């Protein structure tokens, strides 16, 4: 009986506390975690592959309403090896800042907050070795979920598809990177 009472009290404390998680206009969420950029297998140039990379990812979200947020995705610079025929032919670094509008369909008091988003990406290439790549502008779509541990702290997972097409300077070749980006981390709501 004592164990049942303890479990019941714990459940009420955990699930009862989810009612104070409400998002409100003006809330700011900052999240940090591990982020991986995995370019598609076919770069658009026969036999050329762009390898993936994992870095520190950061997002900041401003809640315009309890269900609409504006998110900025940033990260430490990604470094990609470009291969042809299994051999390294070039390397490049890039920063892919992305701004998205997000929609949170659940009631704002739910501890689990899934979301979908769409936005714009600007990818800036630098430190290229053996190749020069043009910066890229493209669209992005995203989905993810926040799980609130308490009123401020949350666990987060997010996935983005980003349209990154870049031209090789001095040639007519376009490299289609078009990565799937996955981030898992923790966040804090102010």
Average pLDDT, integer, range 57-71: 97
Which of the two residues, 113 and 40, has the higher pLDDT score? 113
DSSP letters along the chain, please? -HHHHHHHHHHHHHHHGGGG----TT-EEEEEEEEEEE--S--SSTTEEE--EEEEEEEEEEESSSSEEEEEEEESPEEEEEEETTEEEEEEEEE--EEEEEE--S-TT-SEEEEEEEEEEEEEEEEEES--B--EEEEEEEEEEEEESSSSEEEEEEEEEE--EEEBTTSS-EEE---EEEEEEEEEE-
Confidence of residue 20 (pLDDT cuts 50, 70, 90): very low
Provide the pLDDT confidence category of residue 53 given band limits of 50, 70 and 90: very high
Of the pLDDT bands very low, low, confident and very high (cuts 50, 70, 90), residue 102 is very high
pLDDT digits (tens, 9 = 90+) for 150-178: 999 999 999 999 999 888 776 777 888 89
pLDDT value, residue 2: 52
Give the pLDDT confidence score for residue 46 in this predicted structure.
72
Structural domains of the chain in order of their starting residue, each with its CATH number: 2-189 (2.40.160.20)
């Amino acid at each position: 009986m004592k164990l049942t009472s303890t479990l019941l009290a714990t459940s009420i404390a955990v699930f009862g506390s989810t009612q104070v998680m409400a998002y409100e206009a003006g809330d700011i969420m900052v999240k940090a975690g591990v982020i991986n950029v995995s370019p598609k297998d076919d770069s658009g140039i026969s036999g050329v592959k762009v390898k993936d990379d994992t870095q520190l990812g950061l997002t900041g979200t401003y809640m315009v309403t309890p269900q609409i947020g504006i998110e900025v995705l940033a990260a430490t610079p990604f470094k990609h090896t470009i291969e042809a025929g299994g051999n390294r032919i070039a390397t490049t670094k890039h920063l892919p800042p992305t701004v998205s509008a997000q929609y949170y369909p659940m009631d704002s008091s739910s501890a689990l907050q899934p979301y979908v988003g769409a936005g714009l990406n600007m990818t800036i290439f630098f430190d290229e070795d053996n190749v020069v790549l043009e910066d890229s502008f493209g669209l992005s779509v995203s989905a993810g979920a926040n799980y609130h541990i308490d009123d401020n702290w949350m666990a987060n997972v997010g996935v983005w598809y980003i349209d990154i097409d870049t031209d090789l300077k001095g040639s007519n070749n376009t490299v289609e990177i078009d990565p799937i980006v996955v981030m898992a981390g923790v966040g804090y709501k102010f």
